[in-house]
Amino acid sequence: MRVFSGIQATGEKHIGNYIGAMRNYAATQDEGDADFCIVDLHSITVDYDPQDLHDRTLDLAALLYAVGLEPDRCTLFLQSHVSGHAEAAWLLSAVTGFGQLGRMTQFKEKGEGKEFVSAGLFTYPVLMAGDILLYQTDIVPVGDDQRQHIELARDLAERFNSRYGELFKVPRGVFPEIGARIMDLQEPTNKMSTTGGTQQGTVLVLDPPDVIRRKFKTAVTDSGREVRYLPDEKPGVSNLIEIFSVATSMPIADVEAAYDGRGYGDLKGDVGEAVVELFRPVQEKYAELRPDEGELRRRLHVGAEKARETSAPTLEAMYRRMGFVRP
């Protein structure tokens, strides 16, 4: 079985990224051949700073190793190191409907109210479909906000297969049962995000322990004081329960039972503490790995070579099926 997932290079990584995606990369790397991609080409679709892109890319590589990706158990690489991704995006644009891209909610959200909206933001889901399809991927571990993009990738695979002959495997998104959509702690009806959310409501994987504790202590909760998991009625408390459940491996019903009659204050304090403990080993490992840029670059170089090898036959077959004369 082949596993593939991607994560943006820019933006500081938060507990939503960790719970919705990163920890599941680490968990799936032994389920089959796993490829994970830092999607640096995607990062230029919104306003960004070149130096920031450069530094954050290396930060993220160190962080992914720190959460448990192991160079000999999976392939971690930078999207821009494997030129086939940009090529696949162009080829797949032939089977992508303009109207289909216009319906992508992330495009609408990220473009809304902006003075300048790049063409790349619009075509981004085609690049993402190529990322996945080039690796003949079976499963894609992602958070809930990627559902529509995965649907598009499946659709493009099917359209390509029926127009040019069976080539792509049709991938399946895998979403965590708990924590597929972690909400902003200050605005619990909005998804946690470094671009769209509040700073105080976004818990970063690399936040110092005191900052993590404070962000949870000041989390917005709901009316009433019962600790119950009711995402529609009690979005704030339900979000804290999900985070606590993941951080402690305690089932949601047990969390509810443990806080029966105790109110929100206790829960907030305990979630903060549990998250500090959850991130402690990640932060320690990150501090060890990040300074050695030479080693990070060496690992990424090896990763890119492996990724090129895996994806090249599919890219070549795409060109041939589509009628290109090959060198």
Smallest distance from ligand TYM to CB 9, Å: 8
Binding map of ligand TYM across residues 58-97, x = CB under 6 A, - = no contact = ----------------------------------------
CB neighbourhood size of 178 (10 A):
14
Q: Which long-range contacts (CB under 8 A, 24 or more apart) does 320-327 make?
A: 321/164, 321/165, 321/167, 322/91, 322/94, 322/164
Residue 21 binding ligand TYM, by CB under 6 A: yes
CA torsion 77→323→171→136, rounded to 10°?
Answer: -50
Of positions 2, 20, 227, 236, contacts ligand TYM by CB under 6 A: 20
Q: Which stretch binds ligand TYM (CB under 6 A): 137-145, 216-224, 276-284, 295-303?
A: 137-145
Minimal distance, residue 181 CB to ligand TYM, in Å:
5
Taking residues 110 to 129 in sequence order and writing x for each that binds ligand TYM by CB under 6 A, - otherwise, the string is: ------------------x-
Q: What is the largest CA-CA distance in the chain?
A: 72
Is residue 38 a contact partner of residue 7, using CB atoms and an 8 Å limit? yes
Please list, in sequence order, all residues whose beta carbon lies within 8 angstroms of the beta carbon of residue 127, skipping any fewer than 6 positions away. Answer: 39, 41, 42, 85, 86, 89
Based on the shown chain and the rule CB under 6 A, indicate whether residue 234 belongs to the binding site for ligand TYM: no
Residue labelled with tokens 């959310």: 197
Q: Kindly tell me which residue out of 16, 84, 188, 303 binds ligand TYM, with binding defined by CB under 6 A.
A: 16
Site string for ligand TYM, 177-216 (x = CB under 6 A): ---xxx--------xxx-----------------------
Residue 179 Cβ vs ligand TYM, minimum distance, rounded to whole Å = 6
> End-to-end CA distance of the chain, in Å?
32
* Euclidean distance between CA atoms 118 and 95, whole angstroms: 21
Contact residues: ligand TYM, CB under 6 A: 4-8, 16-17, 19-21, 39, 42, 128, 131-132, 140, 142-143, 145-146, 149, 180-182, 191-193
